[in-house]
């Protein structure tokens, strides 16, 4: 009798660290792909895609759902990353565009910019056997066997490379940019620790920039300063929104309020303004105050 497929997994997350761990025989290394984390659940004729935050993704990536349904394996839970290949690399901007409210737009983009599902863990095998409690040293060979038996060569689903050789991991890290966002290291002896950062780390190349404050947001249900909106001037001399800063103490928020409120004046950002579609968008994304620059 087949076991029921669990849909209760929260993805195992990674702790950001400064350097690649090098303990021999302890770690498995993988590329960190520039995409959307995704869990894929299949039970017979039903496939569900789940985001890192637990939100459904299947509506936005129907081509991935169809590819998973074509697999001869009828039951599984897979962990991986949704990416959009473009020009020999990956396009995060094209991936962001896939999160769209219009069904007709989703259908069009699924053909123009089809996503690929990059696999890096197996949480339930095709027999319905739960694998999450097994150590990674067992789950990875099981995933490789799954890929060898079931994956097609159409590029819709691919197996992420993995190695225990730190020299290979360093080569990947030196090539960060375009397709790669960094390097992941996972402890071989540990099970899949759903919803935690225990036993999995990530290393990323950090970039710094001197930004202009082009506006701010008030905190939710408050008139305290919630975040400063950051911008960079583009080649045309227009100020584009590029991010935000929100790690302030209570007394710092009061000081900032006295500084920025007298400077409220449109337009703030003269190029790309806050509120565009992104994986962090909320109903408050378009609520912000412009600062004279």
Domain finish residue from 175, 203, 231: 203
Q: Do 28 and 130 reside in the same domain of the chain?
A: yes
Share of the chain above pLDDT 70, in %: 91
Q: Compute the Cα dihedral for 216, 100, 14, 179 and give only its sign.
A: negative
Instruction: Give residue 85's region: left, alpha or beta (phi > 0; psi -120 to 50).
Output: beta
The SS3 of residue 261 is: helix
Q: Do 257 and 194 reside in the same domain of the chain?
A: no
Predicted confidence at residue 273, as pLDDT, reads 84
Domain finish residue from 138, 173, 203: 203
Contacts of 179 (CB under 8 A, 6+ apart): 31, 33, 34, 83, 89, 90
> Domain range holding 222?
212-290
pLDDT tens-place string over residues 211-269 = 999 988 888 777 888 888 999 999 999 999 888 887 778 788 888 889 988 888 888 88
The answer as to whether 66 is a domain residue is: yes
The answer as to whether 56 is a domain residue is: yes
Return the higher-pLDDT residue of 278 and 198: 198
Question: Which residue in the list 32, 149, 204, 257 is annotated as catalytic?
Answer: 32
Q: How far apart are CA 220 and CA 70, in angstroms?
A: 45
pLDDT tens-place string over residues 69-115 = 999 999 999 999 999 999 888 998 899 899 988 999 999 999 999 99
The answer as to whether 4 is a domain residue is: no
- Alpha helices by DSSP H, listed for the chain, are 62-70, 92-97, 103-112, 136-150, 166-174, 250-260
Q: Do 186 and 271 reside in the same domain of the chain?
A: no
Domain finish residue from 203, 224, 256: 203
The answer as to whether 172 is a domain residue is: yes
pLDDT bucket at 138, cuts 50 / 70 / 90: very high
Q: Do 198 and 221 reside in the same domain of the chain?
A: no
Q: Which CATH number belongs to the domain containing residue 64 in this structure?
A: 3.30.470.30
32 assigned to active site: yes
CB 41 within 8 A of CB 50: yes
User: Looking at the predicted structure, is the pLDDT value of residue 3 above 50?
Assistant: no
Q: Do 66 and 143 reside in the same domain of the chain?
A: yes
Number of Cβ within a 10 Å radius of residue 247: 6
The answer as to whether 218 is a domain residue is: yes
Q: Do 240 and 129 reside in the same domain of the chain?
A: no
In this structure, what token pair is assigned to residue 140?
Answer: 């990875």
The tally of domains found in the chain comes to: 2
């Amino acid at each position: 009798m087949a076991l029921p497929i669990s849909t209760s997994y929260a993805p195992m997350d990674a702790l950001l660290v400064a350097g690649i761990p090098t303990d021999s025989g302890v770690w498995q290394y993988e590329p960190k792909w520039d995409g959307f984390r995704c869990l894929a659940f299949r039970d017979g004729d039903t496939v569900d895609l789940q985001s890192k935050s637990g939100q459904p993704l299947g509506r936005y990536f129907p081509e991935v759902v169809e590819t998973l349904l074509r697999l001869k394996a009828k039951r599984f839970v897979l962990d991986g990353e949704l990416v959009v290949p473009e020009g020999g690399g990956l396009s995060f901007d094209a991936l962001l565009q896939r999160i769209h409210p219009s069904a007709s737009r989703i259908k069009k983009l699924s053909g123009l910019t089809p996503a690929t599902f990059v696999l890096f863990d197996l949480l339930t095998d095709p027999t319905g056997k739960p694998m999450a409690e097994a150590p990674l040293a067992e789950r990875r060979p099981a995933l490789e066997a799954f890929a060898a038996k079931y994956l097609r060569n159409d590029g819709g689903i691919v197996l992420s490379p993995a190695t225990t050789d730190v020299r290979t991991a360093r080569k990947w890290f030196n090539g960060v940019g375009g397709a790669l966002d960094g390097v992941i290291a996972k402890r071989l002896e540990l099970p899949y620790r759903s919803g935690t950062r225990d036993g999995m780390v990530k290393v990323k190349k950090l970039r710094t920039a001197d930004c202009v404050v082009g506006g701010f947001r008030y905190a939710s249900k408050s008139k305290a300063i919630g975040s400063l909106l950051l911008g960079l001037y583009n080649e045309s001399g227009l100020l584009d929104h590029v991010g935000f800063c929100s790690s302030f103490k209570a007394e710092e928020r009061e000081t900032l309020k006295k500084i920025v409120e007298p400077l409220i004046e449109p337009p703030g950002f003269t190029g790309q303004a806050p509120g565009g579609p992104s994986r962090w968008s909320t109903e408050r994304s378009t609520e912000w105050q412009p600062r004279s620059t």
